């Protein structure tokens, strides 16, 4: 362990040495899902990246306190629940459960706390009251409350907005908007009678999306914490607005690091619900892929690089994972690993999470001439970070069903008699049963295929 993690910080646009405020503790907040639908595999790429970051921090000996919000009230949710004629809770609960199921299947460690927006409305109202008192927010004619970006001189520091674009006084009420709308944003939105809302000093309304993350992150992690994460689409307006609200309120730095992962693309375009170019974990499982193959695929790209999703690349990831499992099946374990490989592996992950390089080093180790017992020890250390559950395969020979084994033995016989046609036929038959043969110097090796 080297304790020399370097991370890219969007605040400074530089790779910096990571030093927590209160070692060995690390406070980490990551924006969670909007539970209006199943997560798509683009969302999941981000959650895998954040999990890798947590696992690297833990491998460095840090004690991570991880908070991830669940956005269970927001423009899209309200619209969809209304269309379905159900309450917000009835509408969001199945997607919330599905989200946790996805995390489990992807071997993503659960956060310590999953605060829900609807359970923190009181805290949000109090927070907004402070912003109004400090003159950073104002109440509009309709009872909505807006953050006045002209009162926060550092507005735009995270997303490096050109100050000239800022339209002070103009307002945006929607939860999501583009860089073209650099305007005062809604902290509290007035609602019409009959719409979902809560009582407040400004009349019935509901919170905007950005305020929930300031309130819930600071409630659980304090006014200043170590790492704030998400994907790059959140840099503006979401994270920018969180900084304005939080630093405006406390006068202190909000998060020391902002780390945002790049997107998963499809045909060169961001995977997004609105573009209808998305797949869920259920979609990929329906095609016979394992969730861990998606995790493997995510490991092959650096988190700050875009990754274009194709079924071919997912198949390649599934094959690589299968091969890796087969490699380790007949290894036994010792207490002594391969120091040189471990040094290289941890150097790679410490260098702004260079996981693709770390994965290549793992494969180098697998193919090396070191005794398998030593390789096993290092491999398990690596997999604590990569999370491919290789311990379920290491040292556990494949249990080949009797019918398959019979065909394998039969094929060995005909091959020895040089009846290659029959041998090929038997190979095909074995394949149909989901197994593959590899002829090695020590005899045939049977592998499971997808």
Contacts of 204 (CB under 8 A, 6+ apart): 143, 190, 191, 193, 197, 198
213 is a contact residue toward Zn ion (CB under 5 A): yes
Nearest 10 degrees: Cα torsion 401, 404, 408, 411: 160
Among 9, 11, 26, 34, binds ligand AMP (CB under 6 A): 34
According to DSSP, residue 266 is labeled: E
DSSP run (H or E) holding 261: strand 255-261
Strand segments (E) across 152-224: 171-172, 184-190, 205-207
With contacts defined by CB under 5 A, how many residues of the chain interact with Zn ion? 2
Question: Residues 243-282: x/- map of binding to ligand AMP (CB under 6 A)?
Answer: --------------------xx-----xxx----------
Give the nearest distance from C-beta 272 to ligand AMP in angstroms: 6
43 binds ligand AMP (CB under 6 A): yes
Q: Please indicate if the annotation marks 210 as binding a ligand.
A: no
DSSP structural state of residue 165: G
CB of 122 to ligand AMP, least distance (A): 23
Tokens of 37: 């639908």
Q: Which is nearer to ligand AMP, 117 or 244 (CB)?
A: 117
Q: Tell me phi and psi for residue 184, to 5 degrees.
A: -60, 135
Burial of 204 (0-12, 13-18, 19+ CB in 10 A): middle
| Residue 40 among known ligand-binding residues | no
Q: Is 31 in the site for Zn ion (CB under 5 A)?
A: yes
Window contacting Zn ion (CB under 5 A); options: 10-18, 47-55, 210-218, 396-404? 210-218
Q: Is 20 in the site for ligand AMP (CB under 6 A)?
A: no
CB of 102 to ligand AMP, least distance (A): 12
Contact string 195-234 vs ligand AMP (x = CB under 6 A) = -----------------------------------xx-xx
Give 39 or 145: the residue with its C-beta nearer to ligand AMP. 39
Give the Cα separation of 239 and 241 in Å (integer): 5
User: Strands (DSSP E) along 144-183, which ranges?
Assistant: 145-147, 171-172
Query: Which of 10, 46, 217, 322 is in the footprint of ligand AMP by CB under 6 A?
Result: 46
Q: Is 31 annotated as a binding residue?
A: yes
Q: Say whether 120 counts as a known binding-site residue.
A: no
Nearest to 75 by CA among 263, 258, 248, 274: 274
Q: CB of 376 within 8 A of CB of 395?
A: yes
The item of Zn ion, ligand AMP, none sharing an interface with residue 213, based on CB under 5 to 8 Å by kind, is Zn ion
We find the least distance from the C-beta atom of residue 34 to ligand AMP, in angstroms, to be 4
- Among 27, 42, 291, 337, indicate the residue that binds ligand AMP (CB under 6 A): 42
Three-state DSSP at 15 gives strand
Contacts with Zn ion in 133-192 (CB under 5 A)?
none
Considering the complex, what minimum distance in angstroms separates the CB of residue 49 from ligand AMP? Answer: 8
Only segment of 25-33, 136-144, 322-330, 355-363 that touches Zn ion (CB under 5 A): 25-33
Q: How far apart are CA 35 and CA 123, in angstroms?
A: 21
CA distance 2 to 240: 33
Query: Judged by CB under 6 A, does residue 353 bind ligand AMP?
Result: no
Sole residue written with tokens 């041998």: 423
Residues in the chain: 450
**What's the CA gap between 390 and 193, in Å, rounded?**
56
Question: Per CB under 5 A, does 259 bind Zn ion?
Answer: no
Ligand-binding annotation for 338, yes or no, is no
Cα–Cα distance measured from residue 440 to residue 431, given in angstroms and rounded to the nearest whole number: 17
What residues line the site for ligand AMP (CB under 6 A)? Answer: 31, 33-34, 42-43, 45-46, 230-231, 233-234, 263-264, 270-272
What residues line the site for Zn ion (CB under 5 A)? Answer: 31, 213
Binding-site positions for ATP read 273
Binding-site positions for Zn(2+) read 31, 213, 238, 242
């Amino acid at each position: 362990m080297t304790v020399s993690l370097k991370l890219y910080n969007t605040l400074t646009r530089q790779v910096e040495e990571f030093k927590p405020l209160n070692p060995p503790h690390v406070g980490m907040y990551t924006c969670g899902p909007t539970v209006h639908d199943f997560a798509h595999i683009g969302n999941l790429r981000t959650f895998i990246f954040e999990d890798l970051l947590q696992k690297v921090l833990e491998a460095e000996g840090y004690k991570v306190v991880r908070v991830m919000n669940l956005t269970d009230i927001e423009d899209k949710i309200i619209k969809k629940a209304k269309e379905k004629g159900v309450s917000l809770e009835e509408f969001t609960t199945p997607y919330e459960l599905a989200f946790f199921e996805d995390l489990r299947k992807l071997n993503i460690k659960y956060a310590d706390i999953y605060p829900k927006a609807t359970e923190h409305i009181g805290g949000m109202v109090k927070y907004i009251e402070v912003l109004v008192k400090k003159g950073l927010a104002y109440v509009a004619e309709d009872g909505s409350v807006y953050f006045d970006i002209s009162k926060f001189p550092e507005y735009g520091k995270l997303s490096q907005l050109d100050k000239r674009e800022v339209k002070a006084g103009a307002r945006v009420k929607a939860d999501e908007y583009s860089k073209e709308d650099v305007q005062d944003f809604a902290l509290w939105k007035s609602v019409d009678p009959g719409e979902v809302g809560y009582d407040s000093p400004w009349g019935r309304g509901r919170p905007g999306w950005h305020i929930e993350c300031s309130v819930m992150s600071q409630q659980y992690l304090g006014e200043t914490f170590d790492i704030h994460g998400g994907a790059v689409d959140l840099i503006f307006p979401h994270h920018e607005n969180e900084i304005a609200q939080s630093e405006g309120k406390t006068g202190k730095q909000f998060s020391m690091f902002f780390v945002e992962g790049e997107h998963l693309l499809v045909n060169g375009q961001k995977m997004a619900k609105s573009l209808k170019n998305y797949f869920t974990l259920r979609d990929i499982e329906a095609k016979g892929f394992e969730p861990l193959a998606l995790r493997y695929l995510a490991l092959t790209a650096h988190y700050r690089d875009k990754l274009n999703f194709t079924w071919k690349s997912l198949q390649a990831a599934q094959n690589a994972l299968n091969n890796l499992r087969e490699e380790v099946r007949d290894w036994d374990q010792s207490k002594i690993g391969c120091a040189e490989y471990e040094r290289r592996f941890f150097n790679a992950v410490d260098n702004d999470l260079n996981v693709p390089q770390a994965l290549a080093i793992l494969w180098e180790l697998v193919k090396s001439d070191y005794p398998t017992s030593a390789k096993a020890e290092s491999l398990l250390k690596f997999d604590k970070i990569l999370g491919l559950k290789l311990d379920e395969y290491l040292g556990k020979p494949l249990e080949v069903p009797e019918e398959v084994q019979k065909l394998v033995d039969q094929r060995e016989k005909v091959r020895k008699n040089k009846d290659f046609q029959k041998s090929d036929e038997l190979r095909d038959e074995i394949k149909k049963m989901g197994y593959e043969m590899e002829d090695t110097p020590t005899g045939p090796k049977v592998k499971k295929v997808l």
